[in-house]
C-alpha cells in the first residue's frame, strides 16, 4: 500500500463524508449548554442533520441508543444534565453510538474538570473537540483558558492532542485560527474560517455538534472531525464575505452551511 495513503486525508475523503451526511441526515443528540441550544439546532438543520436536545436523565440513555451521534458539551453543567450525560455516554458505549466531548472551560473550573475526567471512564469519546486550552486541560497539562476562551494556539498543544487521541483511540480536534485535528497517528491542519467566528457565541459548540453528526456517517473519527471543521469554516468564509457585522454573520453562516455542496468543499478545502 502507498504509505502516503495511510497518513493523509484527501479532499475527496471529506466530500464523500459530506455526501453521506446529506443523504443520511444523521440524528444528533445534543446534551449541550443553555447558551447555544437554539443556534446549535439551527446549524445542524442547515447542514443537513436532524437535531434532538434530549438531555434529561430519564430519556438520555434511551435516545443515545438510537441516535446517530451524541454531543456532550460541558458549558453550563447542572446536576440533572450531568446525570443525563452519564446515562447517554454509557448507552452510547454499549450501542456503539459515536460520542463527542466538548470540554467547555475545563481546566478553569473544578467540577466540570472532574466530569471531563469521569465520562471517558464510562466509554471513550470518539472525538474530543475543544479550543487549545481546553484540550490541554483534558490531556491533564494545564489550568485551562480564560473562561470559555483559549489562551493557547492549537500548535502549542499538538503533542498533548496526539497523546489524548491515542489514549481514547479516537480523534482530537483543536480549534483556533488554524485548526489541528489528529488521531495520534495522522495530523491535519485546516486554515479556513474568519475572526468573526469569535464574535458569535457558540461557534465552537455548534462545531462540536457537527462533529457528532459526521461521526454518524464516517467510521474514521479523523475524517468526521475534519469534514465538520472544513464545512463550518468554509461556510463561515462565505458568510463573512456577505455580512455587515457579527449579527448578520451568524444568520449568514446558517444560510451558507446549507448552500455548500460536496463539490465546492472538495474544490476549496486546503488540507496541510
Ligand X SMILES: Nc1ncnc2c1ncn2[C@@H]1O[C@H](COP(=O)(O)OP(=O)(O)O)[C@@H](O)[C@H]1O
Ligand Y SMILES: Cc1ncsc1CCOP(=O)(O)O
Looking only at residues 192 through 251 of this chain, which bind Mg ion when binding is defined by CB under 5 A? 204
For the CB of residue 104, give the shortest distance to Mg ion in the complex, in Å: 5
Q: Taking each helix axis from N to C terminus, what angle separates 221-242 and 203-217, rounded to the nearest 10 degrees?
A: 140
Closer Cβ to Mg ion, 58 or 146, answer by number: 146
Q: Please report how many Cα atoms fall inside a 13 Å half-sphere around the Cα of residue 133, on the Cβ side.
A: 16
For Cα atoms 67, 71, 76, give the angle at the middle one, nearest 5 degrees: 135
- Of these, 9, 18, 157, 197, which contacts ligand X (CB under 6 A)? 197
Closer Cβ to ligand X, 32 or 218, answer by number: 32
What is the SS3 assignment for 227? helix
Annotated binding site for substrate: 53, 202
For Cα atoms 256, 75, 191, give the angle at the middle one, nearest 5 degrees: 40
For the CB of residue 69, give the shortest distance to ligand Y in the complex, in Å: 18
- Of these, 51, 144, 176, 221, which contacts ligand X (CB under 6 A)? 176
For the CB of residue 6, give the shortest distance to ligand X in the complex, in Å: 26
From CA 22, how far away is CA 166, in angstroms rounded? 30
Q: Which does 201 bind (CB under 5 to 8 A by kind): ligand Y, ligand X, Mg ion, none?
A: ligand Y
For Cα atoms 203, 207, 211, give the angle at the middle one, nearest 5 degrees: 175
The footprint of ligand X (CB under 6 A) covers: 130-131, 148-150, 175-177, 179, 193-195, 197-198, 203-204, 207, 229, 232-233
Amino acid at each position: 500500500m502507498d504509505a502516503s495513503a495511510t497518513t493523509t486525508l484527501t479532499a475527496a475523503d471529506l466530500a464523500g463524508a459530506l455526501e453521506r451526511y446529506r443523504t443520511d441526515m444523521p440524528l444528533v443528540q445534543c446534551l449541550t449548554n443553555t447558551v447555544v441550544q437554539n443556534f446549535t439546532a439551527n446549524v445542524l438543520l442547515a447542514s443537513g442533520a436532524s437535531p434532538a436536545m434530549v438531555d434529561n436523565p430519564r430519556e438520555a440513555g434511551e435516545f443515545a441508543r438510537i441516535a446517530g451521534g451524541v454531543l456532550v458539551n460541558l458549558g453550563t453543567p447542572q446536576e440533572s444534565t450531568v446525570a443525563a450525560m452519564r446515562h447517554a455516554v454509557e448507552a452510547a458505549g454499549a450501542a456503539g453510538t459515536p460520542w463527542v466531548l466538548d470540554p467547555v472551560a475545563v481546566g478553569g473550573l473544578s467540577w466540570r474538570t472532574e466530569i471531563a475526567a469521569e465520562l471517558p471512564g464510562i466509554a471513550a469519546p470518539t472525538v474530543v473537540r475543544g479550543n487549545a486550552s481546553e484540550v490541554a486541560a483534558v490531556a491533564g497539562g494545564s489550568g485551562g483558558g480564560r473562561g470559555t476562551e483559549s489562551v493557547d494556539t492549537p500548535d502549542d498543544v499538538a503533542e498533548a492532542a496526539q497523546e489524548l487521541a491515542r489514549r481514547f483511540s479516537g480523534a482530537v480536534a483543536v480549534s483556533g485560527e488554524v485548526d489541528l485535528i489528529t488521531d495520534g497517528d495522522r495530523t491535519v491542519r485546516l486554515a479556513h474560517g474568519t475572526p468573526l467566528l469569535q464574535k458569535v457565541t457558540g461557534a465552537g459548540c455548534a462545531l462540536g455538534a457537527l462533529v457528532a453528526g459526521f461521526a454518524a456517517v464516517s467510521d474514521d473519527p479523523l475524517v468526521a472531525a475534519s469534514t465538520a471543521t472544513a464545512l463550518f469554516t468554509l461556510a463561515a468564509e462565505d458568510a463573512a464575505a456577505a455580512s455587515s457585522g457579527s449579527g448578520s454573520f451568524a444568520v449568514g453562516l446558517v444560510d451558507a452551511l446549507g448552500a455548500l455542496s460536496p463539490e465546492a468543499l472538495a474544490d476549496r478545502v486546503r488540507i496541510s
